[in-house]
Amino acid sequence: MASVDVPVALLGYGTVGAAVHRLLEQNAEDIERATGHRLRVVHALVRDPGKERGFAAGEGVLTTDFASILEDESVTLVAEVMGGVEPTGGYVLDLLRAGKPVVTANKQLLARRSTELFATAAEAGVQMRFEASVCAAIPVIKVLRESLVVTNVHRVLGIVNGTTNFILTRMESGAAYQDALAEAQRLGYAEADPTDDVSGADSAAKMAILASVAFGSRVELADVSYEGIDRLRPEHVEAARSLGAVVRLVGTATLVDGAVDVRVGPALVDRHHPLASVEGPFNAVMLQGDAIRELMLEGPGAGGLETASAVVADMVSVLGTTGTGFLQGDACWRSLPKLPPGELPAPYYVHIEVADRPGVLAHVAARFADEGVSIARLAQHVVNGSAALDVVTHTAPSGRVATALDAIARLPEVHGLPDALRVIDERGI
């Protein structure tokens, strides 16, 4: 049977876009054998056609004119790999309205404008796929949407940023934060401006997407509480080691009595928990649900080639379906309330620097007791010439822990604000 020629276009031709083109060219026969289609890049939207590229685009492929893609009726599939929210969002909406399926790797766009994008795709009867937007080569979206469609996933744990995971792994080996960040930049794991990574914003966007798909209810970036790793100090890493744990930037999406909570922040992960073994620039997503108990997917979560492989996989998936495709309507089929702030229960690790005099421990314990927060473990030691308390609480609502810490911070013998990190030690099995 003769293969079907499929002209495709790319929005963007940087590291990922060039890698997508290279994979399509080098694997054309494999794709054709599997699908009966041959994907051929005919347009790639760029700002500067004269810029040197990682893979030659070919004569006449590069263009600065978006209309040349939108108005080309032969283009039946577009991959968006340019990033950003605008003008990218407008381009994607125009393509969907024109009946052209879109594959995107753009986490920020999806985390901010998914309602409008999926509504437009559904109205036009075309697909929008987004596997590469979360963990690059790890097929977690496909697993959630297809393999686990009736599993009733109630919790998602994710190490979804390779930059921060690399930095934290190096800090475990004794590197200072700034030195670990500089090394990540030198190796290409971190951008020149690493703000989105180290602040937790990148992870928050990815967790918004994962929560939306896992729970079938819209979660946007504004719904995610997040903090990063830029305030972590060596004593946090040392305290984790002494407690048989490691520090990781962990995103959690939890379904509690029909309400959704999504957050990202540094956490102490028990050494026996599977996420503790995820090191370097790797990502991992753990899914917990009624039918599966626990499932973890791990692999490279960043990089041009890894992201490109997920983009190409989505492009091939579009070829194998028609209309909006099986499970390609909006993943969000219901509206769930957000869990009120402060109600998510969890154990916490708390670091408190105090004056080294009698009675301090009793005063601290009393403030926890006032909020019904019980202490599971406590260690006292000297840091920077002052006494320090490392406290691990039993599971308690985060709001009660925060109120106790506010009261503790006001004690005259307490130096500065206490630090609090969630503790992750529970398994789904």
The answer, yes or no, to whether residue 386 has pLDDT greater than 80, is no
178: three-class secondary structure by DSSP: helix
Angle between helices 107-124 and 88-97 (to 10 degrees): 20
Domain of residue 351, residue span: 345-424
Distance, in Å, from the CA atom of 380 to the CA atom of 354, rounded to the nearest integer, reads: 10
Q: The tokens of 205 are what?
A: 């966007």
Do 171 and 229 have their domain in common? yes
Query: DSSP E strands: which ranges in 179-338?
Result: 225-226, 245-256, 259-270, 282-289, 293-300
- Residue 345's pLDDT is what? 94
Do 40 and 59 have their domain in common? yes
**Mean pLDDT for the chain overall:** 91
Query: Per the domain annotation, does 336 fall within a domain?
Result: no
Query: Per the domain annotation, does 177 fall within a domain?
Result: yes
Query: Per the domain annotation, does 329 fall within a domain?
Result: no
Over residues 48-76, the mean pLDDT reads 94
- Residue 302's pLDDT is what? 72
In angstroms, how far is CA 403 from the centroid of its own chain?
29
Query: Per the domain annotation, does 334 fall within a domain?
Result: no
Over residues 24-28, the mean pLDDT reads 95
Distance, in Å, from the CA atom of 185 to the CA atom of 193, rounded to the nearest integer, reads: 9
Residue ranges of alpha helices (H) inside 76-221 are 88-97, 107-124, 132-135, 140-142, 162-172, 177-186, 195-198, 201-215
412: three-class secondary structure by DSSP: coil
- pLDDT tens digit sequence for 67-79: 999 999 999 999 9
Distance, in Å, from the CA atom of 284 to the CA atom of 162, rounded to the nearest integer, reads: 10
The CATH number of whichever domain residue 44 belongs to comes to 3.40.50.720
The set of catalytic residues is 206
Q: ∠ CA 414-416-421 to the nearest 5 degrees?
A: 100
The answer, yes or no, to whether residue 291 has pLDDT greater than 90, is no
- Residue 196's pLDDT is what? 94
Do 149 and 109 have their domain in common? no
Over residues 104-124, the mean pLDDT reads 94
In angstroms, how far is CA 239 from the centroid of its own chain?
26
pLDDT-derived band of residue 385, with 50, 70 and 90 as boundaries? low
Do 172 and 116 have their domain in common? no
Do 113 and 71 have their domain in common? yes
Over residues 132-157, the mean pLDDT reads 87
Query: Per the domain annotation, does 245 fall within a domain?
Result: yes
Question: Of 160-164, 318-322, 373-377, where does mean pLDDT reach its minimum?
Answer: 318-322
- Residue 324's pLDDT is what? 47
Contact 211, 262 (CB under 8 A): yes
The answer, yes or no, to whether residue 321 has pLDDT greater than 80, is no
The CATH number of whichever domain residue 229 belongs to comes to 3.30.360.10
Do 14 and 45 have their domain in common? yes
The answer, yes or no, to whether residue 105 has pLDDT greater than 60, is yes
Do 41 and 130 have their domain in common? yes
Do 186 and 263 have their domain in common? yes
Contact 429, 294 (CB under 8 A): yes
Do 144 and 258 have their domain in common? yes
pLDDT higher at 331 or 138: 138
Do 391 and 289 have their domain in common? no
- The number of domains in the chain is 3
The answer, yes or no, to whether residue 154 has pLDDT greater than 50, is yes
Over residues 339-349, the mean pLDDT reads 94
Over residues 331-349, the mean pLDDT reads 92
| Of the residues 301, 330, 356, the one at which a domain ends | 301
Query: Per the domain annotation, does 97 fall within a domain?
Result: yes
Do 187 and 272 have their domain in common? yes
DSSP 8-class letter at 217: B
pLDDT higher at 340 or 145: 340
Q: How far is CA 31 from CA 6, 36, 39, in A?
A: 12, 7, 8
Number of helices followed by number of strands (H, E) in the chain = 15, 18
- Residue 12's pLDDT is what? 96
Query: Per the domain annotation, does 333 fall within a domain?
Result: no
The answer, yes or no, to whether residue 429 has pLDDT greater than 60, is no
CB atoms within 10 A of CB 339: 18
Do 310 and 248 have their domain in common? no
pLDDT-derived band of residue 286, with 50, 70 and 90 as boundaries? very high
- Residue 330's pLDDT is what? 73
Question: Of 115-129, 217-231, 371-385, where does mean pLDDT reach its minimum?
Answer: 371-385
Over residues 235-247, the mean pLDDT reads 93
The CATH number of whichever domain residue 373 belongs to comes to 3.30.70.260
Dihedral (Cα; 108, 109, 110, 115), 10-degree rounding: 140
Element (H, E) at 363: helix 360-370
